[in-house]
Amino acid sequence: MASTANLRSRRSVAQLHALAGVEREIRAQDSHSRRKYLREFNDAFHTYDSLLDSQAVQRALHAADVVLIGDYHALPGAQRYAASLIEERALTGDRPVVLGVETIFARDQHILDEWWRREIDETELRQRIRFDLDWGYDWNPFYELLTAARDHGEAIYGLDCMPRENLRKIGERDRHAAAKLAEIHGRHPDAVILVLFGESHLAPGHLPRVLQKQMPDAKILTVLQNIDALYWRAAGERVDKVEAVRVNEDVVCVFNATPLEKYESYRLCLDQWSRCDTGPDFAPTIYTLIDSLAAFLEINRYSPHNGTQPKFLVDMLPEVHGNSSDVMLRRLLSRRGISEQQLETMLANVAERGSAYLPQLNAFCIREFQMMHAAEDATRFLHHACRGLPARLNGQGVNGNRLANASAPLTADAFYARVIEDAVAYFGCRVLHPSRPSPATEESAVLSRAAFEKAAQSAIRGGEEKFESFAQDWGYRIGSQIYVAYLAGKVKPAGLRRLFLAHLDEPGLARKVCTAVIARLRSASRA
């Protein structure tokens, strides 16, 4: 009878020979495999305790509250296996099933919810979550997973956050996902949560450890798929086919593909990506502007608490519609009650400025990158996000156009809030784009509280056009003076962050903020 070593060699020799060439090609295009985080995963799983059959795997699944399923993104079978687990677990009927996925950013949960409610179709879902741009793997098996969860489950949640490409931030993504899963457990206390996440995140010291701290009473099971070292070791077993192995009490590994199949799938993805050309992608540019301004204001994008920081700013990042058609934008806006006339105004705004931030959708529409306008739009988003999304807009729309509710009253509170919004937008633009010219007004260096109050009363009585003009004029002047004070070292980022966080929708607060800012700037000017 052949020894274990001989069995392993005979079963593996052809694959290993083929793999050598594939791995060389992959390493030439992808150097991430040498990163510490990935080495920790590769070093974690080399041995197993026992063999398992499918019934034993099912028993382990049924005993768990949270099941972390390792995903080799390039392998369609990995997503299809997760879909099969959802169906099998739901059929028992003892507990509801909830799915969490790394593939979709938590910031895009509203899009996923629209698809769940069948308000949008597959094509729109794929485009708006930027699947091909931000993920790039095979769509069909992932969509089969989503469909299985919608047919058999209670809910689907996106779990990931930016930045995916920066492995130095990968620990933040683990902590973010763990916090999201704890929130999901709170919403669905009776459900079993199945989570499909990249396999490297499932090393014992990565996501599982962080999640156990967040949910100390939960039974967490890690289900790995096709781990190389375990596959080669199992190749020496005397049984014809090893279905799965128990690594330890909390970890099992199933085998549904060979290493050669895995790496060939990844090589094909690399080849496809190298040939892809879909035109300019403006989203990374917009997110870089937002990230830069947040860093300047000392905002922690991953803060789990509200207060001096916005909670999980990384989950509030806007959709960016660059190459999408006007037809889809019209459909999106019409669902929010935007009239045809308001829509035409918005599109004309985009044509003139190149971009616009749409607070009604928490989205950017961008056709051409113009730094000055894009920087101002990015600041407007950050201001809305710091105040909490969805923001109460009091009828305020896109960059001064009253698109959300044309009949909203022109009140004093609305005017003061608009002034602060425009001041913040101008200041943020100057921080990101210092060459922007100062406001063209003789009074730009003088801020009089009496003149400001007089302008407010005139704007409220003068109708919509005057309201908009006066608000922007005073907002830009105040923003310019804030920037001058900042350059002189008289205003610190922490104080500016408080201005971003002020809840201007509270009655009377916007006026107090305006008065305080003007007084502070006059004092700084005299000094």
Domain ranges of the chain: 4-275, 283-526
According to the model, what pLDDT value does residue 389 have?
77
**Assigned token pair, 479:** 């923003």
CA distances from 331 to 120, 145, 322, 343 (A): 10, 27, 16, 10
CB 396 within 8 A of CB 404: yes
pLDDT of 337 higher than 90: no
For residue 147, which of 188, 110, 115 has the smallest C-alpha distance?
Answer: 115
Among 79-88, 109-118, 134-143, 278-287, where is mean pLDDT lowest? 278-287
Tokens 């995903």 belong to residue: 71
pLDDT of 271 higher than 50: yes
Tokens 């995963």 belong to residue: 41
Q: What is the mean pLDDT of residues 337-352?
A: 79
Q: Virtual CA dihedral for 500, 502, 508, 513, nearest 10 degrees?
A: -50
Percent of the chain with pLDDT over 70: 87
pLDDT of 480 higher than 50: yes
Q: From CA 30, how far away is CA 33, in angstroms rounded?
A: 7
Of residues 167 and 355, the one with the higher pLDDT is 355
Percent of the chain with pLDDT over 90: 45
Q: What angle do CA 181, 185, 186 make, to 5 degrees?
A: 120
Question: Which own/partner contact pairs does 451-456 have at CB distance under 8 Å and 24+ positions apart?
Answer: 452/514, 452/518, 456/412, 456/415, 456/416
According to the model, what pLDDT value does residue 262 have?
85
pLDDT of 254 higher than 90: yes
How confident is residue 28, by pLDDT bands cut at 50, 70 and 90? low
Of residues 69 and 471, the one with the higher pLDDT is 69
CB 253 within 8 A of CB 45: yes
How confident is residue 394, by pLDDT bands cut at 50, 70 and 90? very low
Q: From CA 496, how far away is CA 517, in angstroms rounded?
A: 10
CB 22 within 8 A of CB 50: no
Does the domain at 4-275 match CATH 3.30.1330.10? Answer given as: no
CA distances from 457 to 38, 82, 190, 410 (A): 62, 62, 56, 10
Among 144-158, 165-179, 326-340, where is mean pLDDT lowest? 326-340
Specify which residues 363 forms β-bridges with: 319, 358
How confident is residue 67, by pLDDT bands cut at 50, 70 and 90? very high
According to the model, what pLDDT value does residue 442 have?
44
According to the model, what pLDDT value does residue 446 have?
62
How confident is residue 393, by pLDDT bands cut at 50, 70 and 90? very low
According to the model, what pLDDT value does residue 6 have?
57
Of residues 443 and 59, the one with the higher pLDDT is 59
Q: What is the mean pLDDT of residues 219-247?
A: 91
Q: From CA 159, how far away is CA 105, in angstroms rounded?
A: 6
pLDDT of 398 higher than 50: no
Q: From CA 518, how far away is CA 504, in angstroms rounded?
A: 16
According to the model, what pLDDT value does residue 25 have?
61
CB 401 within 8 A of CB 349: yes
According to the model, what pLDDT value does residue 24 have?
65
Among 95-104, 152-161, 273-282, 463-472, where is mean pLDDT lowest? 273-282
Specify which residues 313 forms β-bridges with: none
Q: What share of the chain is helix, strand, coil (3-state, %, to 5)?
A: 55, 10, 30
Q: How many other C-beta atoms lie within 10 A of the C-beta of residue 463?
A: 10
Among 209-223, 331-345, 378-392, where is mean pLDDT lowest? 331-345
State the sign of the Cα–Cα–Cα–Cα dihedral 255, 219, 207, 114: positive
Q: What is the mean pLDDT of residues 365-385?
A: 89
Among 264-268, 334-338, 424-428, where is mean pLDDT lowest? 334-338
Give the chain's mean pLDDT. Answer: 85
Q: What is the mean pLDDT of residues 158-169?
A: 87
pLDDT of 511 higher than 60: yes
